Chain A
Amino acid sequence: MDLLEYQGKQLFAEHGVATPSGIHATTVDEAVAAAEEIGYPCVVKAQVAIGKRGKAGGIKIAADEAEARSHSEAILGMDIRGFTVYDLWIEGASDIANEYYASVILDRSEKKLLAMLSRMGGMDVEEIAESDPAAMVKRHIEPGAPLDLEVAREMAYEAQIDDDVVDGVAEMLVQLGEVAIAEDATLIEINPLIVTAEREVVALDAKITIDGNAMFRHEELAEFSDKSPQDPQEAMAKEKGLTYVKLDGNVGILGNGAGLCMSTLDVVAQAGGDPANFLDAGGGSKAEAIVDALEVITSDPKVTAVLFNIFGGITRCDEVAKGIIEATKQIGLTLPLVVRLDGTNSEEGLELLADAGLKNLHNEKTMLGAAARVVELANA
């Protein structure tokens, strides 16, 4: 789960990581009131889970009430690379002397947390890595232990952080490691981590990803995830507990198992089709889950045909067939459905489908055959 900047900063504040004080707003009036309380100059920041907000015009400095209002009006509802702005964060403008970069991320290859520090803040990590790889100082954090303050100091020296703030920057890096462990974060990035004119070390941004598998022990974070997804199908899928990802095409897809489902998208694309979604019905799907899944997929107005690619292991094909029949009745589906059932109880499943005599149903024996067929029907 990706936290928005203001949520990340609230989490930082709880752990004693210095951030500029700010106020969350969802309307122009709230934003103006927040600006009045904070004083001027202040910054109006779009809250979306994507980078480069500044370049997109999503971060603006307001010198007075009129500017706070006009900036808030401009930014709220703005589209930043596919993300609509519903939230604003108003904070006091900082007097920036230095811009650094600090992060703690999960390094999958080494199976450890990795702390990174650079004096070249404000740019992308990729840009820093490209322009000056030596400028990014990296150290692994040993599992089960916090980042050692001495190690963090070494990193700061190596990164050529200004001498007078080496301790402050090192301490913040140690805090990031602590936050990562305490909050089950797989990514904590501060870019820029600033030094103010008064030589204070402050997190000016906060990018935090929390491991979704660990949410059971972070009930207080649940409110952050309640942000309604911006897509109606994704919202519906979430409500029904389905693993659904919306894509741009017109071929609806349902598979069982994440790998097979991804593979299904690929073969549909290879057949010249354009997948509308990823939907993993999961292991052991029962008929009701299939009904739910079909409802979500077909509620996308772009979808013109649906492919069921099921290889039953634990999932029983007869249950899937029952779901298809039930859904067709309930939703009154007329879209072409291409069904490929293989594996456990596939014969029973195919028999049920044959008996139901659904006019919009097309059986295919193989995955590739089914992909070709659904593309043909979707584009007919």
Chain B
Amino acid sequence: MAIIIDNDTKLVVSGLTGREGTFHGLRNRDYGTDLVAGVTPGKGGQDVEGVPVFDSIKEAVDERGANTSMVFVPARFAAAAIDEAIDSGVDTVIAITEGIPVHDMLKTYWKAREAGVRLIGPNCPGVLSPGKANVGIIPAQFFDPGSIGVVSKSGTLTYQIGNELKHAGAGNSTIVGIGGDPIVGSDFIDVLTLFEEDPETEMIVMVGEIGGDAEERAADFIAENVTKPVVGYIAGFTAPPGKQMGHAGAIISGSSGTAQAKKDALEAKGVRVGTSPTEAAQIAVQILND
């Protein structure tokens, strides 16, 4: 099982011929992901180390049976590439590109919703189902197969927590980086829903950060809909209001969106929140071993 990607994933990479696209696309293939095609307009007919390149995602779907698309194209063209993927017939689009204008994402978000296509990202590290498939830039060596689902706004913070879980002997069903932008295709709630339904996932670690109210809404959702234990971690307690902390979404405006408000909201619904990535991992392992 696992969620979003697994042994049935057939991956097409938009931007496979670019430097980053080649590097990470082939890394994903080396991990065991079934990389069936690349797409770069005008480069159809070429190949990247044996992976056929097409002019359009539609061709990759028709000729190679691609069902998952990864978008690695530069920010100013990325929304169009996601739109193309949504129209091509794939079920899942994972957008790694950072820096996509938010007004572009407003349109693309609704396009994906209306088409029933699952969009992960943008500005995210991707999705890893250890032992099955890796789509994106998550370094797989820090994660073992197991039963803890991880959903996170942040890449490196996830690696940190995943690695601590691994050292403690715990593994992961799937790690989902949802991205730190103001508008992302899938939110905590979307991914929590999938983990709740996934028989392989026994518990969930949720990693949030300042900005927006996705964590607060997730807290309400967990109370109503999630039966599996959830452990939280929130970054940004020391972030001053009004200043952007790297991620476009990590900015506190007014009184809402603070790390404390998020922690309080989660704890009020019975979610245990670690004070550091280390403590969050420890709590998770403790719950798992109980």
Binding site for B on A (CB under 8 A): 106, 108-109, 111-113, 126, 143-144, 181, 184, 186, 211-214, 216-217, 243, 245, 247, 255-263, 265-270, 275, 278, 280, 283, 311-314, 342-344, 366-368
Binds A, one of B34-42, B46-54, B198-206, B238-246: B238-246
| B174 part of interface (Cβ distance < 8 Å) | no
Bound Cα distance A277, B246 (Å) = 12
Q: In the bound complex, do residue A258 and residue B163 qualify as a contact, i.e. CB atoms below 8 Å apart?
A: no
Report how many A-B pairs have Cβ atoms within 8 Å.
Answer: 167
Q: In the bound complex, do residue B109 and residue A111 qualify as a contact, i.e. CB atoms below 8 Å apart?
A: yes
Given contacts A263-B276, A367-B277, contact A245 B107 (CB under 8 A): no
Binds A, one of B8-16, B85-93, B96-104, B222-230: B96-104
A188–chain B nearest beta-carbon distance, Å: 13
Q: In the bound complex, do residue A311 and residue B156 qualify as a contact, i.e. CB atoms below 8 Å apart?
A: yes
B218–chain A nearest beta-carbon distance, Å: 12
Query: Which chain A residue has the least Cβ–Cβ distance from B237?
Result: A266
Q: In the bound complex, do residue A259 and residue B207 qualify as a contact, i.e. CB atoms below 8 Å apart?
A: yes
- Additional pairs, 6, CB under 8 Å, beyond known A109-B217, A259-B180: A106-B106, A143-B107, A181-B103, A212-B248, A266-B276, A269-B237
Supply 21 A–B pairs (Cβ within 8 Å), ascending by A: A108-B183, A143-B110, A186-B182, A247-B238, A257-B246, A259-B235, A260-B160, A260-B235, A262-B210, A262-B245, A262-B246, A275-B238, A278-B239, A311-B159, A313-B125, A313-B138, A313-B155, A342-B163, A343-B142, A366-B278, A368-B276
| B286 part of interface (Cβ distance < 8 Å) | no
Partner of A213, one of B102, B214, B277: B102
Binding site for A on B (CB under 8 A): 75-76, 99-104, 106-107, 109-110, 125, 137-139, 141-142, 152-160, 163, 180, 182-183, 207, 209-210, 212-214, 217, 233, 235-240, 243-250, 254-255, 259, 275-278
Cβ of A312: which chain B residues have Cβ within 8 Å of it?
Answer: 139
B209–chain A nearest beta-carbon distance, Å: 6
Q: In the bound complex, do residue B213 and residue A260 qualify as a contact, i.e. CB atoms below 8 Å apart?
A: no
Partner of A111, one of B125, B138, B183: B183
Cβ of B103: which chain A residues have Cβ within 8 Å of it?
Answer: 181, 184, 211, 214
A276–chain B nearest beta-carbon distance, Å: 11
Given contacts A106-B102, A265-B239, A311-B160, contact A259 B155 (CB under 8 A): yes
Bound Cα distance A321, B142 (Å) = 20
Query: Which chain A residue has the least Cβ–Cβ distance from B180?
Result: A258
Given contacts A111-B110, A184-B101, A265-B239, contact A258 B245 (CB under 8 A): yes
Partner of B159, one of A186, A265, A313: A313
Given contacts A214-B103, A313-B138, A344-B139, contact A263 B157 (CB under 8 A): yes
Q: In the bound complex, do residue A283 and residue B243 qualify as a contact, i.e. CB atoms below 8 Å apart?
A: no
Query: Which chain A residue has the least Cβ–Cβ distance from B139?
Result: A313
